[in-house]
Amino acid sequence: MSAIRYVSTRGSAERASFRDVVLSGTAPDGGLWMPADIPRLPKARIADLAELPYPDLAALILSAFVGDAIPDERLFEICQEAYAGFDDPEVAPLVPLAGRHWLLELFHGPTLAFKDFALQVVGRIMAELIDAEEGGQPLVLVGATSGDTGSAAIAAIADRANIGLVMLHPEGRVSEVQRRQMTTVDAPNIVNLAVKGSFDDCQRIVKQLFASGVGDLRLGAVNSINWLRIAGQVPYYFAAAAKLNAVDRPLAFAVPTGNFGNAFAGHVARAMGLPVERLIVASNANAILPRTIATGLYERGEALATSAPAMDIQVASNFERLLFDADPAATPGQMELLSQEGRFHLTAPQRRVLDAMFAGASAHEGAIADAMRWARDRAGQVIDPHTAAGLHAALASDLPHDVPIVTLATAHPAKFPDAVAEALGERPAAPERLRAIFGREERYATVEADPKAVASHLEDIARTLA
């Protein structure tokens, strides 16, 4: 296995190794890291994946991004450990809905959302790389969450030696279950901050801190800024295709979208050779991406609060990776325009990629509730509001009828009991893992939407690790 090199989407940073990419935040020029080349798997190798249990499949796909940074045998062990805590033996079961519609259940991990797929691996690989350093500096992670990344990152990092995590969530804009999943974890290396602002404010602060640095702290990312987050979400696209015997015939995925990490992982799966006919980018009323796909204009607005709060996002971080993949030279200027003017136009090559491979659909609140009712009435499935936005888009798709559509079920319905009860008239049963969080004390501080307020918490946690 050889070394994999990574490039920045802004084009002016030196190439970096897998290790440097995983243990850092944004690239020094402010961009996001991408592999210099996305490796393509031969067809026969993809077909063989059907035989593999999920952890082996994941290790095989991940090894293409890890290269020689971790020996293959160790990577296999890490993946076994990462998925051992999932409560379904298939890890990502595929459930039939009706006709050509399927649900890929991605909520069987420790925090009941799809973020566990990558973060259970990220936490272990970070620890592996840090442990291998002699006398290395502690790693201080800073993340922004609209609800699910937070708990998944905390579950992956809590109590790890030499790693601390400060997690920002928008005050009052995550569900009670999501908040408690983060704030009831009692670990000395975890700090939760409720930010007076939106998720976009939280993410902006995180990116500003990476750009400015905080003293001489070694900062790292748990958001999908970190390439390993994207890589860790690629394997389940292959697993779904293998289950449908669709490794050499077209299929489509409807992907509930906020920060575009999950959808971009699907794009990477296709680039690696999976015959993905269409990625249907499904949003809630925050329809910036479906609108961009339709018009070619990316224009930031105010994030609206919806029943699918993890997708209440206007600046979809990973869209930058798609722009770069389609037209690298144009991307730095577009990102500059976005920060100065809040908008930019796609170039012709970028529009061609979007038109050929993506579709978009947004679901307002009524459509989300309708999709929840459709899933219950037609297939006996209770789904969460984010998955419902995906299903709404899948049902509206104009793809030929022989193309199966897999909707990614990104969260367990019990994470959003109020929204489910409002649509279906009854509250979803809470799995054992969730019941415990209700008796426990919550710990978090509230801060202004200001990088300085967050920096002081990063310094405090760094002192405890030193």
Ligand X SMILES: N[C@@H](CCOP(=O)(O)O)C(=O)O
Q: Which residue has tokens 């190794």?
A: 17
CB contact at 8 A, 160 and 123: yes
Q: Which does 145 bind (CB under 5 to 8 A by kind): ligand PLP, ligand X, none?
A: ligand X
Active site residue 115: yes
Query: Binding to ligand X (CB under 6 A): which residues in 219-238?
Result: 223-224
59-98 mask for ligand PLP (x: CB under 6 A)?
----------------------------------------
Other residues' Cβ atoms within 10 Å of the Cβ of residue 463: 10
Query: Binding residue for ligand PLP (CB under 6 A) from 70, 174, 311, 406?
Result: 311
Does position 320 interact with ligand PLP (CB under 6 A)? The reply is no
Binder of ligand PLP out of 262, 284, 292, 407 (CB under 6 A): 262
Radius of gyration for the alpha carbons in the chain, expressed in angstroms and rounded = 20
Of residues 168-227, those binding ligand PLP (CB under 6 A):
none
| Contact mark string toward ligand PLP, 126..165, x via CB under 6 A | --------------------xxx-----------------
Question: Which of 361, 408, 117 is CA-nearest to residue 252?
Answer: 408
How many C-alpha atoms does 135 have within 13 Å on its Cβ side? 0
The alpha carbon of residue 378 and the mean position of all alpha carbons in its chain are separated, in whole angstroms, by 29
Please identify, among the stretches 16-24, 180-188, 255-263, 446-454, the one whose residues bind ligand PLP according to the rule CB under 6 A.
255-263
Q: Which residues contact 369 (CB under 8 A, 6 or more apart)?
A: 307, 388, 422, 423
Q: Which does 257 bind (CB under 5 to 8 A by kind): ligand X, ligand PLP, none?
A: ligand PLP
Catalytic residue of the set 115, 196, 207, 415: 115
Other Cβ atoms less than 10 A from the Cβ of 424: the count is 18
Three-state DSSP class for residue 43: helix
Distances (CA, A) of 28 to 15, 82, 230, 324: 11, 30, 20, 16
Does 386 engage in binding with ligand PLP (CB under 6 A)? Answer: yes
Angle at the Cα of 166 (from 164 to 171), degrees rounded to 5?
160
Segment interacting with ligand PLP, rule: CB under 6 A, options 238-246, 254-262, 297-305, 434-442: 254-262
- What is the SS3 string spanning 379-395? HCCCCCHHHHHHHHHHH
Binding site partner of 63, from ligand PLP, ligand X, none, Cβ cut-off 5-8 A by kind: none
Residue in 198, 257, 284, 334 binding ligand PLP, rule: CB under 6 A: 257
Residue 411 makes contact with ligand PLP by CB under 6 A: yes
* Stretch near ligand X under the rule CB under 6 A, chosen from 103-111, 146-154, 295-303, 446-454: 146-154
Task: Give CA separation, 44 vs 39, 49, 356, in Å.
Answer: 15, 9, 25
Exactly one of 259, 286, 306, 381 binds ligand X (CB under 6 A); which one? Answer: 259
Any contact of residue 288 with ligand PLP (CB under 6 A)? no
Alpha helices by DSSP H, listed for 4-87, are 18-22, 43-48, 54-66, 72-84
Q: Is the Cβ of residue 263 or residue 276 nearer to ligand PLP in the bound state?
A: 263
| Residue 423 exposure: Cα atoms within 13 Å on the Cβ side | 26
CB of 256 to ligand X, least distance (A): 9
Residues that bind ligand PLP (CB under 6 A): 113, 146-148, 256-263, 310-311, 386, 410-411
Contact residues: ligand X, CB under 6 A: 145-150, 223-224, 258-259, 261, 310, 317
Active site residues: 115
